[in-house]
Amino acid sequence: MVIRALTRARELEQIGAKLSHELKNPLAAIKGLVQLSARAACDPDSREQLRVVAAEVDRMESILKEYLSFSRPLEALQPQSVALGTLADEVISAMDARAASAGVVLRRRGDATIEADPRRLKDALFNLVGNAVEATPEGGRVEVEIHESERAARIAVRDSGRGMPPEVLERLGTPFFTTRDEGTGLGVVVARAAFAQHGGSLVYASEPGQGTTATGTLPLRYAHRSDDGAAAAG
């Protein structure tokens, strides 16, 4: 099982590197040309059409970024002391404008200090909070609650959204499964891999009409494992 996961991870890593090389630069060039054309356009209809093209390029870049994150499970962690409250505040600050435009309130409670790779955890939290904001209607809220126990820290991202039935909850975290019109479904996969690579876990609880809670658990002290890449890939 571990060997199969390791082989799969290496194959995905190679595909991701190829995709990055082949798509990243052309997308940047297209985006730059569209932005220049939009500034030069005099006709409002033309400007609107170019704005739509630019937005679609942004979406393609976002999908590429998600896939590349998904395809890099073998990167070694760089653990250091991390204040989870500060990390969560940075994510909330970056997401604040997006949440405000959707009429969603973001809050954080609690704190904990652990040994972890802040880059990987921030990526995971971005995905969790972003998904929660997407699932929450106008006037709702998303809360990030952090709790520290004797041996572990818990990060719960709770939304007041529409919730999910059991059949959807069961498939959550399956690559490319999503309930949205747009998206890849890889955000949950990337987040779960980040927690697993740290020796932790990520679980979901949800009921229709009751919102969703994503709860990540992390050890306070990171224990280096030679198979942490394989764990993230599984």
Q: Pick the last residue of a domain from 44, 70, 96.
A: 70
| Owning domain of residue 135 | 80-233
State the maximum Cα–Cα separation within the chain, in Å, rounded to a whole number: 64
Same structural domain for residues 85 and 173? Answer: yes
Residue 26 included in any domain: yes
Give the span between the Cα atoms of 67 and 120, in whole angstroms: 15
Locate tokens 């590197």: which residue?
Answer: 17
The angle at the Cα of 221, spanning 216 to 118, to the nearest 5 degrees, equals 60
Q: Are 115 and 81 in contact (CB under 8 A)?
A: yes
Would you state the pLDDT for residue 231? Answer: 46
Do 35 and 126 belong to one domain?
no
Distances (CA, A) of 16 to 6, 34, 73, 193, 230: 15, 26, 11, 16, 17
What's the whole-model pTM score? Answer: 0.68
What the block records as the tokens of 201 is 């876990």
pLDDT at 60: 74
Position 177 scores a pLDDT of 53
* DSSP reduced 3-state for 225: coil
At 44, list the tokens. 């409002």
Name residues of the chain where pLDDT drops below 70: 1-17, 19-21, 62-63, 65-75, 171, 173-185, 224-234
Q: Is residue 28 part of a domain?
A: yes
Same-domain status, 27 and 112: no
Show which of 35, 70, 105 is a domain's final residue: 70
pLDDT at 8: 61
Q: Residue 230: its pLDDT value, please? A: 45
For the chain, the domain total comes to 2
The answer to whether residues 204 and 179 belong to one domain is yes
Contact 178, 135 (CB under 8 A): no
For residues 189 and 223, state if they share a domain: yes
Measured in Å, how far apart are the chain's first and last C-alpha atoms? 8
Both tokens of residue 128?
């969790």
Which residues are bridge partners to 191 per DSSP? none
At 173 the pLDDT is 62
For position 2, what pLDDT does the model report? 47
CA 62/CA 184 separation, integer angstroms: 10
Task: Classify residue 75: in a domain, yes or no.
Answer: no
pLDDT (0 to 100) of residue 232? 47
User: Which CATH number do you get for residue 188?
Assistant: 3.30.565.10
Position 150, amino acid: E
On whether both 35 and 89 belong to a single domain, the answer is: no
